[in-house]
Amino acid sequence: MISDHCTNWKAYSAIAPEVFQTAFDFIKTVTRETEDKRYDLCGNDIYALVQKYTTKPLNDGKMEAHRKYVDIQAVISGTEFIGISSIAGLKEISAYSDEKDCELFEHNSAISSLIKLCPGDFMLLYTGEGHMPCIAIGDKQTEVKKVVIKVRRELLLSK
């Protein structure tokens, strides 16, 4: 997991220069007015999901993990917590779906951490890393605009 401000993306680009360039070039174009939908950047290898939602209470959150795609999640407007946890020891509540590339787990506050994402922040989440997006800061639920770049994991593996 990497968490930083979008202006610092080049510090991580050695992992896969073309992938990071493609992802952050797109992120720079997203505004509050950008239509919520899927944007194909490199077919199914790299695509973006632009979305708007209202954050939810921590107790309503579920940990998720992916196997095929790495997430680069960037907040455009609003603020949220993203929970981070190892999925080892978490109770599975929804088996892995190959179609959705997702499995869900119960949140366990004893073994998770919350990271605050504000406008301009991003988080890179590798396959298998448990994460719980869309969590409200305290009791105040707010609207968030976010872009999630999905990157086929093989594109980030060492060659």
Which CATH number do you get for residue 60? 2.60.120.370
Report the pLDDT value the prediction gives residue 114, as an integer from 0 to 100. Answer: 96
pTM as predicted: 0.94
In the chain, how many domains are there?
A: 1
Tokens describing residue 19: 């992938």
Report the pLDDT value the prediction gives residue 81, as an integer from 0 to 100. Answer: 97
Report the pLDDT value the prediction gives residue 158, as an integer from 0 to 100. Answer: 58
Residue 49: give the domain boundaries: 2-156
Classify the C-alpha dihedral 38-39-44-47 as positive or negative.
negative
The Cβ-side half-sphere exposure at 47, using a 13 Å CA radius, reads 10
List the pLDDT tens digit at each of the 159 positions of the chain.
999 999 999 999 999 999 999 999 999 999 999 999 999 999 999 999 999 999 999 999 999 999 999 999 999 999 999 999 999 989 999 999 999 999 999 998 888 899 999 999 999 999 999 999 999 999 889 999 999 999 999 999 854
Tokens describing residue 74: 């960037």
The Cβ-side half-sphere exposure at 15, using a 13 Å CA radius, reads 20
Classify the C-alpha dihedral 27-39-65-137 as positive or negative.
positive
